[in-house]
Chain A
Amino acid sequence: MKGDTKLLSRHQELGLTDDQVLRMYELMLSARMVDERMWLLNRSGKIPFVVSCQGQEGPQVAAAFAMDPSVDYAAPYYRDLGVVLAFGQTPRDVFLHMFARAEDPNSGGRQMPGHYGSKKHHILSGSSPVSTQIPHAVGMALAAKMRGESFVTYVSFGEGSSNQGDFHEGCNFAGVHKLPVIFFCENNRYAISVPLQKQVACEHVADRAIGYGFPGVVVDGNDVLEVYRVMKDAILRARNGQGPTLIEAMTYRLTPHSSDDDDRVYRTKEEVDEAKRNDAIAVFRTYLQNAGILTEQRETSIKNKLVEQINEATEYAQNAIDPSPESTLLHVYAN
C-alpha cells in the first residue's frame, strides 16, 4: 500500500538511499534486541545490572547516522546503546561489557553496563556522575578548532542532566568559542522518577540555547528522519565554523530507569502503553513499509540475522574470560 508520494520520498530528499534507511532500521532494531536480551540476562541472574535504551533507539541511531564515525567523535551517555552500535561497536562488544569480561572494549570489565568508551570507535569513555561529559565534548571540539581539523563532536544527555552546572558551563564555553559540538538532549520525560515539569520550568530544554548564543531545536524523537535532518543541519553549521547547536529530541523511556528501578510507583501503565504505540522503531517500520522498502520477508531476514548475532554474542561473552583479580592494580598511571 502506498501513501502520499511526497511523504514517501522523505529519506531521498535527505540524501539517504534505501539501503541506508534499512541500515538505520537494522541498527535501531539491533539496539532494541540487544537491550531486551540484557534484561533477560539480568532477570535470570546472569548480569547484575542493566540500564536501558528502549524507546530512545530511534533518535540515537538517527543522530549517530548523521555523523561520520571515521572522522567524528561521540561522548555518549549511559542510554546511548543505539549511538554506540552506529559508531561501530558490535553486539559482541556490548555483551562483553555487560558481562564485565577482560575483552570488554569499553573498560575491560571495570565499568557498569552502559558506561561506553573506546578510542578506536571514536567514543569517549564516560562515567556515572551525569553531565561531566558535556565539557569534555567541548574540549574535544576545542581540539578540532585549535588543530584545524574538521571533526564534529556529539554529546548526549537526558533532560534531567541539563540542570547540572556542567551543562551550562559546557554550553557557554562552546558558545563563546563557536566550537564544532552538538549538544543532543534525549528528553525522555523522566529523570529516574522525577517528571519533566519538576525538572525544568521552561517549556523546552532547547529554549536554554538562546542564553548561550546558538540555536536550540526541538525535534520529535519518534520521527527519525526529522532527527537526522536537524542533526545534518547542526553538523553542517559545526563544520562551517558556525558553532554549536542544542538539539532536544522528545522521546520516551519505555523501561524503568534501570534493572533496580520500579517505574510503577511514578507513572501509569497506560502512559507507557501509549508511548509504546508511538515508539520510533514502529513509526519508522511503518514508513519503510509504506515506502515499499521493508517487505515482510526483509523484516524477517533482518530479525533472524540479529537474533543469530545476539545469540552468538551472548554465548561468546558468557564464556569469555574475566580480567584477573590482580589487574585491579593496573592502569592507575601510565607504565
Chain B
Amino acid sequence: MTVKLYIDAIRDAMVQEMRSDPSVFVLGEDIGLRGGVFRVTQGMIEEFGEQRVMDTPLAESGIVGVAIGAAAMGLKPIAEIQFVDFILPAVNQIISEAAKMRYRSNDDWTCPMVIRAPFGGGVHGALYHSQSLEAMFYHIPGLKVVIPSTAADAKGLLTAAIRDPDPVLFFEHKGMYRSIRDDVPDGEHVVPIGQAAVRRVGTDITVITYGLMVHYAMQAADELEKEGISTHILDLRSILPLDKQAIVDSAKKTGKVLVVHEDNKTGGVGGEISAIIAEEALFDLDAPIVRLGGPDVPAMAFNASMERFYMLNPAKIADSMRALAAF
C-alpha cells in the first residue's frame, strides 16, 4: 500500500495494464508530451512511445470512432475525452455504435474500450468545463458507467474497465485529482464493476451517492455525529450497472434515505435509485425518499458565488440530512 493521489492512481492503472498487455493504448487530445491537460497521462509517452500514447486530432467523434474500430480488431483502447462536456460530438459513436456493437452483431463483434473523461464542478470551469453528464449514458444498455470516489477505487475500477470486454465510461471528478489521496495497493488491484461500497456504517439515516459527493457526505456525517445523528453512507462506485442489492440493503438499514448527486436533480441517477427503493423496500421506509442534486439550470456559472450556489457542499448536504433525521 502506498498513499497516492487520485490522479496518480488513475495513471498507475493505465501504466500497469500497458506494461502487461501490449494491446492496451491510450489516445486523446494533448495526452502525449503535454501529458493531458490535467497531467493524468504525464510521463507515459516517455515509457510507451507516441504510438501507444497517441495525440489525436481535435475531434471527439473521431477519437471514439477510431477507438471502436481498433477495439473491433482486438486492441484495447483507452480514449481520453478532455472534459466530459466535450463528449457530446461523440455521443452518436458511443450510443449508436459502442453500446450496440455486441448486441447488433449477435455477439460476433465486440467493443472492449474505455472512455475516460473528467467531469464535475467547483473548479471555476463555468458551463462547459463543469458538467456531470452521467445520467445521459446511464440510460443506455450496452454501456457501463463507473465513477470512483477514492484513489484505490480509481486504480481498481480502471483496471477492471480496461479488462472489461464491453465499453466502459470512466468518469473522474476533476476536483478530486489532487484533493483526494488514500492507500492504494501497489501491485495488481481490481475492483469489480457494479459493486457499491459502504463507506460509513450508521443507524439513523442512509446517504446514497457517488463521486465527489461521497466525500462531502462523509464530512457532513462527521458533523451530524456530533449532534447525535448516525449516518450510513453507500458509495455506488458504478452507476451502470447499479448495485441494486446494496441500495436496497442500505435503505432498509435505516429506513430514511437521502440520495445525493452533483448532477442536476431532474432525470438524474437519483430518480432511478429512488424508484428501486420504492419498488423493493417501500414498507421498510420511515420517511419519504429525499433527493438532493444540482438545480435544474443548464450548467454552472463562472462567477464564483453563482458557482457556489450551484454546487452542493457538506453544509447543504448536512442540512438535508438533519431534516431527514428529524422526520
Q: A residues touching B (Cβ–Cβ < 8 Å)?
A: 73, 75, 104-111, 115, 117-119, 124-125, 127-129, 132, 134-144, 146-147, 153, 165-166, 168-170, 172-173, 176, 330-334
Contact = CB atoms under 8 A, between A and B. Distances in A.
A125 B166 contact: no
Given A118-B105, A127-B96, A170-B66, 8 more contacts: A75-B69, A107-B105, A110-B106, A125-B104, A139-B70, A142-B75, A169-B62, A333-B165
Contact of A170 (B25, B62, B103, B109): B62
B288 interface: no
B250 interface: no
Interface stretch (B53-61, B172-180, B255-263, B268-276): B53-61
A173 B103 contact: no
B213 interface: no
Question: Which of B70, B77, B106 has the most A CB atoms < 10 Å from its CB?
Answer: B106
A190 to B, nearest CB: 23
A139 B67 contact: yes
Question: Which of B72, B96, B107 has the most A CB atoms < 10 Å from its CB?
Answer: B72
Contacts of A143: 69-70, 73-75
Nearest to B75: A143
The 6 closest A-B pairs by CB, nearest first: A139-B69, A135-B65, A169-B62, A108-B106, A136-B69, A143-B73
Contact of B103 (A73, A110, A140): A110
Contact of A107 (B52, B72, B104): B104
Interface of B: 25, 51-52, 56-57, 59, 61-62, 64-75, 77, 89, 92-93, 96-97, 100-110, 141-142, 144, 165-166
A140 B106 CA distance: 20
Nearest to A141: B69
A169 B59 contact: yes
25 contacts: A108-B106, A110-B104, A110-B106, A125-B105, A127-B96, A135-B68, A136-B66, A136-B68, A139-B67, A139-B72, A140-B72, A141-B69, A142-B66, A144-B73, A146-B25, A165-B89, A169-B57, A169-B59, A170-B66, A172-B57, A331-B103, A331-B106, A331-B107, A332-B103, A333-B102
A124 B66 contact: no
Question: Which of A129, A132, A176 has the most B CB atoms < 10 Å from its CB?
Answer: A132
Question: Which of A124, A128, A134 has the most B CB atoms < 10 Å from its CB?
Answer: A124
A125 B65 contact: no
B62 A173 contact: yes
Contacts of B52: 146
B61 A165 contact: yes
Contact of A132 (B89, B92, B105): B92
Contact of B104 (A73, A127, A129, A170): A127
A105 B166 CA distance: 21
Contacts of A124: 69, 72, 109
Nearest to A171: B62
A112 to B, nearest CB: 10
A117 B72 CA distance: 12
A173 B56 contact: yes
Given A166-B65, A169-B57, A136 B165 contact: no
A165 B105 CA distance: 25
Nearest to A177: B54
A172 B105 contact: no
